[in-house]
Amino acid sequence: MRNSFTAFIHKEILHIIRDPRTMLIALLIPVVQMVLFGFAISMEVNDVEVLAAAPEITPAVEAKVSQIAHNPYITFKGYIATEDVDRAIAANEAMAVVVFSRDYGRSGEAQVVVDASNPVTAQTSAGYLTQILNGTRSASAPGITILYNPQLKSAYNFVPGIMGLIFMLICAMLTSVSIVREKETGTMEILLVSPIRPVMIVIAKMIPYLMLSCIDLALILFISKYALALPLSGSLAALVVTSLVYIILALALGLFVSTIVDTQMAALLVSGMVFIIPVIMLSGMMFPIENMPLPLQWISNIVPARWYIPAMRKIMVEGLGFGYIYPELIVLSLMAIALIAVSVKRFKIRLQ
Amino acid sequence: MIGCAIHITNVSKAFGTVKALDGISLEVNRGEIYGLLGPDGAGKTTLFRILTTLLLPDSGSATVCGFDTVREYTDIRRAAGYMPGRFSLYPDLSVEENLEFFASLFGVKVSDNFDMVAPIYNQLAPFKTRKAGKLSGGMKQKLALCCALIHRPEILFLDEPTTGVDAVSRSEFWDILTHIRQSGMPIFVSTPYMDEASRCDRISLINSGRILETGTLDEILHRNSMPLLAVKGENNYHTLLALRKVEGVKTAFLSGEYIHVFTEEAFEPATLSAIEGVREVKVIAPDIEDVFIKIMGNGNS
């Protein structure tokens, strides 16, 4: 006799396989995001267009300009007259202009004028130029050793963030929609008027999405290692355990949403607004939590990704293990247990 | 022996300020097809949901197969076969996948209980690999009935099973129900179609959450037998408006190509023939639809 529970899981898997949109969200989006963030979109600033302005081109100036022109991140566009500096920036002819004083190289100084309409690029460009200009005379400058990500690659930062985002998307959004769909189409009525226990309905709904998430986890790790060349030097066990806890937490969130809304559209909106956006804004994925106003820092504590993403960074980038991530793991586990308890309790055994 | 009964005692249910059910009492016996007839919004679905343990009554109580719908709901969920009002199968699963899923939901194998559904399922067999969402309306209802029967229930609840189905399929569907009834399984069925009353062993008329009449079709017709005039005019709409102004006319309503008119007892039919535009006046026996409209009119006044 086929068990009603396994029959339910089988049915759920058929729903997923037969819905191209679900398959698309579940399998294509992780790959696309990894590739986009890994290669195309990055916080690195490349091709900074730089002009130079000097009253006369002395050998000292020429030497410095040649250093600038050889920097891989900079595209040197030539010399302009000193009085043209403001106009050149305004006309978008360059991102930055290096202005040399008359007796540069002996006692004179150089000044960097930067277009800061985009502060991130401005800061980074100014940084590049300052480094080059100080280069030869930096006897007093501190020696900097960059650990974990010596080339400052964006991928190192983004991969854990994408993981936090994708599991939220697949687990919370897809599970909530799938449960609410049964309510909307009326099949939930028949399911309730059957001997299967409501808790079993819920668990059977979660298992296929759990399996899907595991496939995604493998996919992400594969791309990270072989396409983005992440070191992945930390404990694999810690990575998998933490991810599973986070996935279960996201599933519980999806279940929770399904207990408060009645239409698929509402489920989508709630999952999108309440779960996905905080992952991007408040998890430290894009913006450092330390720089947020205090109230936002407090709020960030209840965003699960705020605990998951740093833990993933420690494991994937810093190469650490359980010993360094247990605070995050404990917080995530407690959140998961609490949410499952609340959602199962809220899941209705009747229609009202 | 297969089959059990329903006892409903004074059940009421309100949604906010709307009284969906107002003191409903009725009994369904073993082995009978019991029809709940009433217009949309009469409270039929609410009553079905209370009996199938999906809703709690505000007051009153009901038992299905001897189990209380509130306290012993798990027993009812095991014993009842339920077909909700709208199509509630999985459109992305095939005909056989749907049937297999609902069988396993109740822990049975399709092959063990195939005799329950064989006469209906054999009509669906040519389409068994087709997705349920791609079936015609009548086919969908037959599949839904199979899914409700596959676990060999002791009682069958069908909420408007023939709504949105063509006349031929409706008739076929009722033939199937008559066949199932022979096993002794009681069938509690609701419908907005008055002509389906003749296919039920007993019926109740329901409107605005109240039972208006209960009995066999003949009993109800007999109790409400009174002269009914059928009037035909050149322009039925104008004639209808004119008839409603006539002294002694209680209710006048369109029914097919005639206007049916209930009147005071001492009313003289010839009065109507005199109205301008009236071509024909005859005395007929009221059918269940006429009775229903008459009773509904009384209830409102």
What's the burial of B236, exposed, middle or buried (CB within 10 Å: 0-12/13-18/19+)? middle
Cα separation values, B139 from A188, A223, B112, B123, B168, Å: 21, 48, 23, 9, 12
- Give mean pLDDT, residues A201-228: 91
Percent with pLDDT over 70 in chain B: 98
Give the residue extent of every domain in chain B.
6-220, 226-284
Nearest CA in chain B to A9: B101
- In this predicted structure, the answer to whether residue A142 has a pLDDT above a threshold of 70 is no
Q: Encoding tokens for residue B15?
A: 């949604």
| Inter-chain CB proximity A2 and B104 less than 8 Å | yes
Inform me whether the C-beta atom of residue A193 falls under 8 Å from chain B C-beta atoms: yes
Cβ of A7 under 8 Å from any chain B Cβ? yes
| Contact B230/A at CB under 8 A | no
Q: With beta carbons less than 8 A apart as the criterion, state whether B132 and B91 touch.
A: yes
Give the pLDDT of residue A159: 86
Contact A186 B84 (CB under 8 A): yes
If we measure between CA atoms, which residue out of B231, B225, B279, B288 comes closest to residue B254? B231
Mutate: best of B74, B89, B104, B163, partner A, most A CBs <10 A: B104
Those residues whose C-beta lies under 8 Å from the C-beta of residue A252, and which sit 6 or more positions away, are A336, A339, A340, A343
Spatial separation of the C-alpha atoms in residues A343 and A348, rounded to whole Å: 10
Chain A contact probe: residue of B45, B105, B147 with most A CBs at under 10 A: B105
* DSSP state letters, B217-233: HHHHHHHT---EEEEEE
Q: Which two tokens stand for residue B218?
A: 């003949």
Global confidence as pTM: 0.81
Query: DSSP string spanning A229-289?
Result: -----S-HHHHHHHHHHHHHHHHHHHHHHHHH--SHHHHHHHIIIIIIHHHHHHSSSSS-G
- Tell me if chain B has a CB within 8 Å of the CB of A21: no
pLDDT at B266 (0 to 100): 80
* A14/chain B closest Cα distance in angstroms: 8
pLDDT at A332 over 80: yes
Q: Which amino acid is at A156?
A: Y
- Note the Cα B285 to chain centre separation in Å: 23
Return the pLDDT at B191. 92
Complex confidence, ipTM = 0.85
Which stretches in chain B have pLDDT values below 50?
1-2, 300-301
How far apart (Å, rounded) are the C-alpha atoms in residues A216 and A237? 17
Q: Which residues pair with B253 in a beta bridge?
A: B260
Predicted confidence (pLDDT) at residue A1 exceeds the cutoff of 50:
no
Say which CATH architecture domain B226-284 belongs to.
2-Layer Sandwich (3.30)
The answer, for B82 touching chain A at a CB cutoff of 8 Å, is yes
Backbone angles phi, psi at B69, to 5 degrees: -70, -20
The terminus-to-terminus CA distance of chain B in angstroms comes to 46
Q: Give the per-residue pLDDT at A171.
A: 87
Residues 6+ apart with CB under 8 A from B287: B194, B221
pLDDT value, residue A145:
73
Please say if the pLDDT value at position A187 is more than 80: yes
A111 interface with B at CB cutoff 8 Å: no
Instruction: Kindly report which listed range (A52-61, A141-150, A307-316) carries the lowest average pLDDT score.
Output: A141-150
Q: Where are the domains of chain A?
A: 4-41+153-346, 48-137
Contact B107 A18 (CB under 8 A): no
Alpha-carbon distance of B212 to A180, in angstroms, equals: 37
Residue A67: what pLDDT? 87
Listed range (A98-107, A197-206, B31-40) with the worst mean pLDDT: A98-107
Query: Taking a C-beta distance cutoff of 8 angstroms, is the pair A344, A202 a contact?
Result: yes
Q: Greatest CA separation found in chain B?
A: 70
The closest of B208, B209, B200, B227 to B291, measured between CA atoms, is B227
Q: How far apart are CA A340 and CA A102, in angstroms?
A: 71
> How far is the C-alpha of A51 from the C-alpha of A117, rounded, in Å?
17
CB atoms closer than 10 angstroms to residue A226: 9
pLDDT digits (tens, 9 = 90+) for A249-279: 999 999 999 989 989 999 989 888 888 888 8
Minimum CA–CA partner of B100 in chain A: A7
Pick the closest to residue B112 from A76, A54, A2, A284 (CA basis). Answer: A2
- What CA–CA distance (Å, rounded) separates A65 from A79? 10
Question: In Å, how far are A19, A91, A177, B93 from A6, measured between CA atoms?
Answer: 20, 67, 21, 16
Verify whether the Cβ–Cβ distance B101 to A1 is below 8 Å. Answer: no
Beta bridge partners of B205: B37, B213
Under CATH, which number does the domain B6-220 receive?
3.40.50.300
Burial B165-187 (b: 16+ CB within 10 A, else e): beeebbebbbebbeebbeeebbb
Which position has the higher pLDDT, A108 or B133?
B133
- Residues 6 or more apart whose CB falls under 8 angstroms from that of B29 comprise B5, B186
Answer for the pair A233, A319: CB distance below 8 angstroms, yes or no. yes
Average pLDDT, chain A: 86
Determine the Cα–Cα distance for residues B91 and B207; give it in Å rounded to an integer: 33
Where is pLDDT greater, at B61 or A93? B61
Fold of A48-137: D-Maltodextrin-Binding Protein; domain 2 (3.40.190)
The two structure tokens encoding residue B192: 């907005």
Count how many residues are written for chain A: 352
